[in-house]
Amino acid sequence: MSGAPVIELDSVSTVFGKTCVHRDLNLRVEAGQIVGLLGGSGSGKTTLLREMLGLLRPTSGQVRLFGSDLNSGDVAEQRAIRRRLGMLFQHGALFSALSVFDNIAFPLRELRCLDEDWIRRLVHLKLAMVELEPAHGDLMPAELSGGMVKRVALARALSLEPELLLLDEPTAGLDPDRSQNFVDLVGSLQQALGLTVVMVTHDLSTLAGLATHVAVLADQHIIAFGPKHEVMTVDHPFVTGFFGADRRKLL
Amino acid sequence: MNEPPRLQIESGKIVLSGAWTLAAMLPELTALRTQLAECRAGATAWDLSRLSRIDSAAAVLLWRTWGGTWPAHLDVAPLHREVLSRVAELPDEIPAAAVQRFQLVEYFGRLTLRALANLQGMVALFGQLILDLSYLARHPSDLPRKELFANIYKAGAQALPVTALVGFLIGITISYLSALQLKGFGADIFIVNILGISIIRELGPVLVAVLVAGRSGSAMTAQIGVMRVTEEIDALSTIGVSRSIRVVLPKIVGLTIAMPLVVLWTSAVALLGGMVAAMLQLDLSLIYFIENLPRAVPVSNLYIGLGKGFVFGFVIALVACHFGLKVKPNTESLSANTTRAVVTAITSVILVDAIFAIFTRHIGVPGL
């Protein structure tokens, strides 16, 4: 692998109407890092994630994934980049008309060059990876519990073997036990597959369990970025308020 | 960045190098697969130690090339062996999802059962409506006025332009076609009878019913359906508001009130269209037309038309609400139920219309 960072945000600014969400925001995520993106409600974390995905174009500045600009014109190149990342949406965003199996198979089928047997094996691999039974493949998304929706969504995000995984509130809405399981699951997958992970989260235990690096989004830019223990010592009202008394628990 | 996947044969060994990942393999997938297929014949020794990456897609490809067994000699890094062994652990014969065979008897049986279930649901909804109405008669302050008026406005007032346009055009069409025939018999003045009876008694109500079923019926189903998907209906219940009084009743009562009025309006505009066409085609003056209308068309036809509008409105809203409440929380169910609601509403309206025609066959027909 060459030295190009997986994600590079270069003086990104985002303006919605009169509200300025990001101003001159810079961030570099290197391969293999698990970055937890923190920030208060409404500080633009999800917006930032959507910009990394290319779903939203920043008002100014550049977003580079794997060293190439996401908003450059070439359609084929953009598609190739998108195949290298997987996204886990906050509410799963499973296609409700498709069964679990078809949801996971969907990105593979869209490649149009894999045969059904290959796809079937891959889907069963992914199901096993997220610790679901093959029988679960026949269920419809409406029949799944919240935790299972997250697992299936993770399996779908992983189906194209991405190098970069983006997670939006991966453990929101799960009970502590399940959320711990999910954290372990993502952690072990990250090690097995060598993923780079960026996640938005409010949950301290998710952050403590998973993240190697922490980026703090406040005052419209990244006020701190670095290894977990370094960021916690930063003297900023948001950081001290967020970690507060739990600072020790994280270390 | 990643080196592309490569395959060479060195001294009897098959050597794979580079990144064997789905993304990297994609551009040259066919070439790689033919290369692998050629190698399969005699090779027993594989050297995978020079791989930089391997993912499960590539592992499945290799495993299938090997025919589901480990090759006799295999050099591979432990990390990559893990990926391969995950594939190896999968059962070889993964059962494909069972395909349901089409059977005629079963199909019709299901269809009948579903129709019966829908009928039962609508009867239950009707019963609930009666109960709600009797409750509201005892507690008039609980009447959801705002919702009721909003529904009358949406289904009635906002439908006026489109029904007028369609009615006017239909009036012109019928008038023109009849005029062509009547001219041949020299029976020009009977245009008043034809237009009056057909529009007031039959076309006006049915036309409006079809339009309203497509316009308001589908909207009702979709609205209730989305409220179910987003759990708004459940939220209403937890606040202690009856969903049938607050959501279903205003829609049914609203449309039942609004429909006869829209029918009256549309019939009037359709007659106007017919009158204009008759004036242009047959030189029949508007005054003559209006003077002769009451003579040619007994007033009971108007009552029948309005009665039909009343019943049609009720049927459309009942069907729409029934299917809306049946929506399951997914997009597929929402679209299926909206379609069913519109189709069922229009079909039942035509059915009710036929029943009307049979039972009112002696009423309002002018004796010649």
Q: Which of A96, A120, A129 sits opposite B331 (nearest CB)?
A: A96
- Structural domain of B45: 6-88
Instruction: Please tell me whether residues B205 and B350 are part of one structural domain.
Output: yes
- Residue B314 located in a structural domain: yes
Print burial letters for A144-161: b (CB count within 10 Å at least 16), e (below 16). Answer: beebbbbbbbbbbbbbbb
Instruction: Please tell me whether residues B77 and B113 are part of one structural domain.
Output: no
Instruction: Please tell me whether residues B249 and B325 are part of one structural domain.
Output: yes
Reply yes or no on whether the pLDDT at A163 is more than 70. yes
Flag the least confident range among A144-158, A209-223, B79-93, B138-152. B79-93
- Rounded to 5 degrees, what angle do the CA atoms B310, B314, B319 make? 150
- Residue B149 located in a structural domain: yes
Over residues A44-103, the pLDDT tens digits come to 888 888 888 878 888 888 888 887 777 776 777 777 777 788 888 888 888 887 888 888
- Residue B313 located in a structural domain: yes
Instruction: Please tell me whether residues B113 and B214 are part of one structural domain.
Output: yes
A28 pairs with which residues across the strands? Answer: A8
Supply the mean pLDDT for chain A.
80
Question: ipTM for the complex?
Answer: 0.71
Ranked by mean pLDDT, which of A19-33, B143-157, B325-339 comes out on top?
Answer: B143-157
CB within 8 Å: A121 and B60: yes
- Residue B364 located in a structural domain: no
CB within 8 Å: A124 and B56: no
Kindly give the interhelix angle for B104-138 and B300-326, rounded to the nearest 10 degrees.
Answer: 110
Closest-CA distance of chain B to residue A141, Å: 8
From edge to edge, which strands make up the β-sheet containing B6-10?
B6-10, B13-20, B45-54, B73-75
Instruction: Please tell me whether residues B50 and B130 are part of one structural domain.
Output: no
Instruction: Please tell me whether residues B75 and B200 are part of one structural domain.
Output: no
The pLDDT > 70 percentage for chain A reads 95
Q: Which of A83, A140, A194 sits opposite B23 (nearest CB)?
A: A83
Instruction: Please tell me whether residues B160 and B117 are part of one structural domain.
Output: yes
Question: What is the predicted pLDDT for the residue at B1?
Answer: 45
Residue A134 with chain B: CB contacts under 8 Å:
94
Neighbouring residues of A161: CB distance < 8 A, sequence distance ≥ 6? A193, B21, B22, B23, B55, B56, B57
Over residues B35-52, the pLDDT tens digits come to 777 776 666 777 777 777
Instruction: Please tell me whether residues B225 and B287 are part of one structural domain.
Output: yes
CATH code: domain of residue B58 = 3.30.750
Over residues A97-153, the pLDDT tens digits come to 788 888 888 888 887 777 888 888 888 888 887 788 888 888 888 888 878 888 888
Number of A:B CB contacts under 8 A? 73
- Residue B93 located in a structural domain: no
Instruction: Please tell me whether residues B141 and B253 are part of one structural domain.
Output: yes
Instruction: Please tell me whether residues B128 and B62 are part of one structural domain.
Output: no
- Residue B94 located in a structural domain: no
Over residues B131-185, the pLDDT tens digits come to 999 999 998 888 889 999 999 999 999 999 999 999 999 999 999 999 888 888 8
Q: Compare B339 and B17 and report the one with higher pLDDT.
A: B339
CB within 8 Å: A140 and B82: no
Residues in A whose CB is inside 8 Å of some CB of B read 1-2, 4, 66-67, 80, 83-84, 96-97, 101, 111, 113-114, 116-118, 120-122, 124-126, 128-129, 134, 137-138, 140-142, 160-161, 163, 192-194
CB within 8 Å: A125 and B60: yes
Please count the structural domains in chain B.
2
CB within 8 Å: B26 and A1: no
Supply the mean pLDDT for chain B.
87
CB of B47 closer than 8 Å to CB of B22 = no
Domain boundary among B26, B54, B88: B88
Sequence letter at residue B279: M
Kindly give the interhelix angle for B56-65 and B78-89, rounded to the nearest 10 degrees.
Answer: 70
- Residue B101 located in a structural domain: no
Mean pLDDT within B14-30: 78
Residue A120 with chain B: CB contacts under 8 Å:
94, 96
Instruction: Please tell me whether residues B252 and B344 are part of one structural domain.
Output: yes
Over residues B237-246, the pLDDT tens digits come to 888 888 888 8
- Residue B328 located in a structural domain: yes
Instruction: Please tell me whether residues B52 and B201 are part of one structural domain.
Output: no
Q: What is the pTM of this model?
A: 0.70
